[in-house]
Amino acid sequence: VQLVQSGGEVKKPGQSLRISCQGSGYTFSDYWINWVRQLPGKGLEWVGHIDPRSTFTTYNPSLQGHVSVSVDESLNTAYLQWSSLRASDTGIYFCARQEGGLDGLDFWGQGTLVTVSS
Amino acid sequence: SYVLTQAPSVSVAPGKTARITCGGDNIGSQNVHWYQHKPGQAPVLVMSYDSGRASGIPERFSGSNSGNTATLTISRVEAGDEADYYCQLWDPATGVFGGGTRLTVL
């Protein structure tokens, strides 16, 4: 099992960004993909998740409308996207898979560092 | 929204037992998962559904959950256990993490 994330990004406030998470070694559609972030000096924070089969998504209420999660099942890839970045989005973003609705996150990507600075 | 409370830090000597707690309103009725996170690495699931050790996790790790407190217990602590530990649950479809506890092995 592997979840391979795209490389680090440096962006300016207001710019858009999409980062990716490609799964392999398992049936991609059988597991939800979660996004979890770690802001500098802070703990883990759940961002949102998507069911690849239905594309149903749920978001952290504090981030609803600021980020969006999508998936391309043909590429076994999930995405986290911003249309207008803020400096406060700077942090490490992890993807992680989840088999069922109440299950833990049993396998994680290596993380993508997003830096937003003017 | 549901709040999970963890002590910021716990220190323990090698070979001793570390207990990392996660407090929440009637958390005993919830399913709690625990993660180990070392700097520069991806988090690792260590305990699922309160007391189920994840794949590859040593028997030294155990979990419990009752009342208002869930607990991750690490017996015979080793230097390699030094990490941040996070509890997590679903409320009900939104993920919630505790603030994390840094385990320091003296």
What is the tens place of the pLDDT at every residue in A37-64? 999 999 999 999 999 999 999 999 999 9
Determine the pLDDT at residue A101: 81
Residues of chain A in contact with residue B44, where contact means CB-CB under 8 angstroms, are 108
pLDDT band at A100 (very low <50, low <70, confident <90, very high): confident
Query: Which residues in chain B are closer than 8 Å to A103, comparing Cβ atoms?
Result: 33, 48
Cα–Cα dist A115/B84, whole Å? 23
Check pLDDT > 90 for residue B1. no
pLDDT given for residue B48 in this prediction: 97
Q: If you average pLDDT over residues A15-40, what whole number do you get?
A: 97
- Label the pairing between strands A77-82 and A17-24: antiparallel
Question: How does pLDDT run across B45-94, given as a tens digit for each residue?
Answer: 999 999 999 999 999 999 999 999 999 999 999 999 999 999 999 999 89
Q: Per residue, what are the HEC states of chain A?
A: CEEEECCCEEECCCCCEEEEEEEECCCHHHCEEEEEEECCCCCEEEEEEECCCCCCEEECCCCECCEEEEEEHHHCEEEEEECCCCHHHCEEEEEEEECCCCCCCCEECCCEEEEECC
Q: Which residue in A36, A39, A95 has the most chain B C-beta atoms within 10 A of its own C-beta, making it the best mutation to test that interface? A: A36
| Cβ contacts of A110 on chain B, cutoff 8 Å | 42
Q: In what order do the strands lie in the sheet with A67-72?
A: A2-5, A17-24, A77-82, A67-72
Beta strand ranges found along B18-92 (DSSP E): 18-23, 33-37, 44-48, 52-53, 61-66, 69-74, 83-90
The pLDDT mean for chain A works out to: 97
Of A46, A101, A106, the CB nearest to B96: A46
Mean confidence (pLDDT) of chain B? 97
> Three-state SS for B29?
helix
Q: Is B91 at the interface with chain A, CB within 8 A? A: no
CB-neighbour burial class of residue B82 (10 A; exposed 0-12, middle 13-18, buried 19+): middle
